[in-house]
Amino acid sequence: MLFERPAQERACRLGGVNESPNCPRCGYDLSGHVASWERSCPIEGRCSECGLAFAWSDVFAEFLVGPRWSFEHAPEDSPPGAMVGRAIATMLMALRPARMWQSLRLEHEVRVRRLLVLGLAQIALLHGILFVLVWGTPRVFALWSGPFWPFTPGAVLRLALFPYDGVIVIACGAGNVTGLPVWVPLAFGGVSASMPLSMLLLPVTMRRIRVRRVHLLRGFVLGLPMVPLALGVMLATGLFIACEQWLPGTAVWRWTLAGVVLVAMAVLLVWYGYWWRQYLRYYIRMPQPTLTAVVLLVLCGTFVFVSSFVISVWS
């Protein structure tokens, strides 16, 4: 087929190229566009299905080398140490969403197996951190201030839920102890983690931009570091509350403490909105990324907080 085409058209197809180009966002077969080229070939194109604008050179490339930090795109023959390094680099890159989603693009092949490995590794890591905090902190701080929330697995169910129904003990010297129920940082992290899934709840938007599901999976896995970030922010504010007794116990101070906690939570939610806006803007390349991010944040926030509150009351 290729050799039946005019020479100038063949010249458009740069060496070692993808014979059946597809839209990076929706997967639509673009060979019809290519067949329509008679005398010249454009540098940029637009998918007739989803409206994505792209560079034809990116679409034709059989294999685009992903960014150097990307765990998904580490070479197959990388030693284990290099793979771990890439995984850490990918998790840290999540703290710079604008840079992350400008360097990793729709055109970079989605490697589902790698994404699943990275996703499971992050969930296992978070589980380990929570286990150590819930199991360990009551014991560590009991040395100072007596047993607080001892680990008493009264029922098989409670043991099965451990450490997710537990409390992390935060202490600031003897007697100044506070507890952070694990469901609270998980609910906050869950608001961010559920954003790509919640996009499926916007059928009109999804029909218009027709994102392949693997791109949502990539967003989910690369957004998972937002969960330990929420945990870190809450442990910091918890430490602040634990130290309350060292502060002058006036009403002004009490309001200041409440204000610090509220501001920390608000900053976290605004950060999530910003994070997903970068994903929608630079990665998905959708129109109105800010508005969509706000709508998704409200959807996810309402669902996650109502459901985790109900679960925590019920259990």
- Binding residues (CB under 5 A) for Zn ion: these are 23, 25-26, 28, 47, 49-50, 52
For Zn ion, give the closer residue by CB, 52 or 191: 52
* Minimum distance from residue 275 beta carbon to Zn ion (Å): 24
* Minimum distance from residue 48 beta carbon to Zn ion (Å): 8
Token duo for residue 173: 């010297």
For Zn ion, give the closer residue by CB, 49 or 165: 49
For Zn ion, give the closer residue by CB, 86 or 212: 212
For Zn ion, give the closer residue by CB, 206 or 306: 206
Give the Cα separation of 278 and 268 in Å (integer): 15
* Minimum distance from residue 22 beta carbon to Zn ion (Å): 8
Give the Cα separation of 110 and 9 in Å (integer): 29
Give the Cα separation of 31 and 23 in Å (integer): 10
For Zn ion, give the closer residue by CB, 30 or 130: 30
* Minimum distance from residue 36 beta carbon to Zn ion (Å): 16
Give the Cα separation of 311 and 167 in Å (integer): 15
Token duo for residue 68: 């150097």
Give the Cα separation of 264 and 80 in Å (integer): 37
Cβ proximity of 57 and 43 under 8 Å: yes
* Minimum distance from residue 27 beta carbon to Zn ion (Å): 7
- Give the strand pairing for 167-171 and 177-181: antiparallel
Give the Cα separation of 252 and 255 in Å (integer): 5
